[in-house]
Amino acid sequence: MSGVKRDWSGKLKRDGPKPAHPAPARNAFTPMFERLRDELDEHHDRRERIVKLSRDITALSKKIIFSLQRVRKIEPQLPKNIQDEVDARLAEIAKLLAALAPEIQGLNRYRYSRSLMCLEELVEALTFAHYLKTQTLIRYEDLCATVEDLTRQGIAAVATSSEDQVMTDAADGPKQADATKPDPPATVSLTQDDYLYGIFDLTGEMMRFATTTLALTGVLAGSESSTSGDEPRTILQDMHDLGSFFEMLPVGGGSRFQWEKKLEVTRQSVQKVERLGYDWIIRGSEKPKGWVPDLSALDQGPPEEDE
Amino acid sequence: MAPMIDPALFEQLKSKIEEDASVRKELDQIIDELNQHVSFTQGILSRVHSTPRSKYAPWLAQVEDGIKKEVETVGKLASFASQYPYYKYNHKWTRTLQDAISTALLCAWLGGLSESTKPGDVGRLLTLEDVGAIFSVPVNLKDRDAFHITIEEYLLGLISVVDDLARLAVNSVTLGDNALAVQISSFIKDLHAGFQVLNLKNDILRKRVDSIKYAVKKVEDVVYDLSLRNLLPQGEGQ
């Protein structure tokens, strides 16, 4: 609260906006403006709800990414404790997506796309998890399907929990089920831009992961050399692939400025991993087992307690 | 083992981006065309400041011709843009469309675009629905994803008209049409009250609405000058 406001004669002024103007007098245009106001309010309220959901989804996605950065090795199964953390966050995200879905159908998908930065963050988390398990980049359709599945799980979870809480009388129960059946529930759709910008960010996570794993295990992350027949592939080759992938693509959606900025960050990440690969080859063989390199010059995650 | 990036994925993304780029190019062309018609019509409309009311009829006919061209191009834009998500590209044409809406609003206010009013019968405000009917496009669509005129576009177009009318109030006095200045004054004051009904967020609409008060002040000053000198038409003023 700020100080007390007084008018020129020292009398206390009442709170509230513009006390000098009482409700403007009605005129021929008032009804029209009132109609437009209601429409605009609907839009503003929806955007507010979307922004809130988006913020929560972003925060949870970031937590997933932090958990994933504690992985030390690319392998088909994430360590159980990390998988549990990821699953728990995803379950929360699913519920938020379920709430978000009806707000961004049809016309409204692109109307609010600027308030939906959370989808990029979610793409980053999901593609990173996929990479750590399979060492491949998940395809666009597959990721769309994943997000739609998540939304459906969220809708189901919200439905069951509300059934638990509210004791619906017998007459209401089946009617609701009928009402939802003909229309498949709305899901969240990813745009190609969400996907591409999410992958830009993925390269940063991969760089961090490569740095940490090399520092702590002394091995550049990659496929096990025991994989029969094929040549093993390291994260450095994957980074090179991603780098060329973006260099070869025409400038995508969004603004050119934004695209170039992301591309530049990706280039830097690729080069950081290149340096790691070099260090690993040149010094890796000399280094006594258990020796930990000096990490001060490398970009690395927050200090971690290792098992 | 599987490659890092599925080669098909790259081709798919690339062709999508190229498709998007060609849509933008096509839109740019249509919007350029619309822009030409709009600025031509705005040019003719600017003669309002030097045209006495008795000579509105032939002049407004020219304005209406300009608006007809705008309507044609908006039709082209609507049928092309409706193939794609509306809000994906809306930012490209929204400014031009606002200006087109302004020309129609001002023309109608001065008595054009109507069978029932004669040129010079001022004061008719087209509603959002009227504007949609003139451009033969839907307005404020909510149930499907197609081209339409939004509420924001209508309101922003209307604010430009307010600025134009404030200027006209000054010039109408110079042309000896004091009654027009008074009519403009009461119209702008009513609109100002109307805009105050809206709950605005901190966006472009808010910024533009804030500017209306300067128009109100400008016309009030004109009316004040007239009243001081007893130049108000009979039955007007206090």
Label residue B21 by pLDDT band (50, 70, 90): very high
- Dump pLDDT digits (tens) for A248-261: 999 876 688 999 99
Ranking A126-135, A157-166, A197-206, A211-220 by mean pLDDT, the lowest is A157-166
Angle at A251 between CA A249 and CA A255, to 5 degrees: 150
Label residue A218 by pLDDT band (50, 70, 90): confident
More confident call, B95 vs A18: B95
What is the pLDDT at residue A47?
95
Q: Which chain B positions have a beta carbon within 8 Å of A28's beta carbon? A: 190
- Residue type at B109? W
The gap between the terminal CA atoms of chain B, to the nearest Å, is 89
Same domain, B180 and B100: no
| Backbone conformation region of residue A132, classed left if phi is above 0, alpha if psi is from -120 to 50, else beta | alpha
Give the gap in angstroms from C-alpha A13 to the nearest C-alpha of chain B.
22
pLDDT at A175 over 50: no
Give the gap in angstroms from C-alpha B146 to the nearest C-alpha of chain A.
8
Same domain, B182 and B124: no
- Rounded CA-CA distance A217/A147 in Å is 33
- Rounded CA-CA distance B10/B13 in Å is 5
Overall average pLDDT of the A264-274 stretch: 96
From B3, B10, B194, residue closest to A29, measured CB to CB: B194
What is the pLDDT at residue A240?
96
Same domain, B18 and B130: yes
From A33, A44, A251, residue closest to B194, measured CB to CB: A33
Ranking A279-293, B59-73, B142-156 by mean pLDDT, the lowest is A279-293
**What chain A residue is nearest to B198 in terms of C-alpha separation?**
A37
B1 found inside a domain: no
Overall average pLDDT of the B66-71 stretch: 97
Same domain, B118 and B62: yes
A249 found inside a domain: yes
CB contact under 8 A, A250 and B14: yes
Specify the CATH number for the domain of residue A204: 1.20.58.2140
Same domain, B111 and B183: no
- Residue B36's SS3 state is helix
A176 found inside a domain: no
pLDDT at B84 over 90: yes
B7 found inside a domain: no
Label residue A225 by pLDDT band (50, 70, 90): low
Label residue A14 by pLDDT band (50, 70, 90): low
- Structural domains of chain A, count: 1
Overall average pLDDT of the B45-68 stretch: 95
Specify the CATH number for the domain of residue B235: 1.20.58.200
Interface test with B, best of A38, A48, A107 (most B CBs within 10 A): A107
Overall average pLDDT of the A155-179 stretch: 61
Overall average pLDDT of the B134-145 stretch: 95
pLDDT at A208 over 90: yes
Q: Are A191 and A198 in contact (CB under 8 A)?
A: no
What is the pLDDT at residue A22?
55
pLDDT at A176 over 50: no
Overall average pLDDT of the A47-68 stretch: 97
What is the pLDDT at residue A46?
96
Angle at A161 between CA A158 and CA A164, to 5 degrees: 150
Q: Which chain A positions have a beta carbon within 8 Å of B87's beta carbon? A: 107-111, 113
Q: Are B195 and B143 in contact (CB under 8 A)?
A: no
Overall average pLDDT of the B29-54 stretch: 96
Same domain, B124 and B211: no
pLDDT at A230 over 80: no
CB contact under 8 A, A36 and B128: yes
Same domain, B59 and B109: yes
- Dump pLDDT digits (tens) for B152-205: 999 999 999 999 999 999 999 999 999 999 999 999 999 999 999 999 998 899
Q: Are B74 and B100 in contact (CB under 8 A)?
A: yes
B4 found inside a domain: no
A4 found inside a domain: no
pLDDT at A13 over 80: no
Give the gap in angstroms from C-alpha A40 to the nearest C-alpha of chain B.
8
A200 found inside a domain: yes
Longest dimension (CA), chain A: 92
Label residue B120 by pLDDT band (50, 70, 90): confident
Same domain, B185 and B107: no
The boundaries of the domain holding residue A69 are 36-163+186-284
CB contact under 8 A, A136 and B86: no
Same domain, B28 and B49: yes
- Structural domains of chain B, count: 2
From B4, B18, B151, residue closest to A39, measured CB to CB: B151
Specify the CATH number for the domain of residue B34: 1.20.58.190
Q: Average pLDDT, whole number, for chain A? A: 84
Ranking A130-134, A200-204, A205-209, B3-7 by mean pLDDT, the lowest is B3-7
Q: Which chain A positions have a beta carbon within 8 Å of B153's beta carbon? A: none
A171 found inside a domain: no
Same domain, B125 and B227: no
Q: Are B123 and B149 in contact (CB under 8 A)?
A: no
Q: What is the dihedral of CA A210, A213, A215, A218, to 10 degrees?
A: -110
Same domain, B106 and B124: yes
B78 found inside a domain: yes
The boundaries of the domain holding residue B163 are 153-238
Same domain, B122 and B196: no
Q: Give the phi and the psi of residue A299 in degrees, each rounded to 5.
A: -75, 125
CA-wise closest residue to B108 among B130, B129, B124: B124
Label residue A164 by pLDDT band (50, 70, 90): low
- Rounded CA-CA distance A69/A92 in Å is 20
More confident call, A303 vs B45: B45
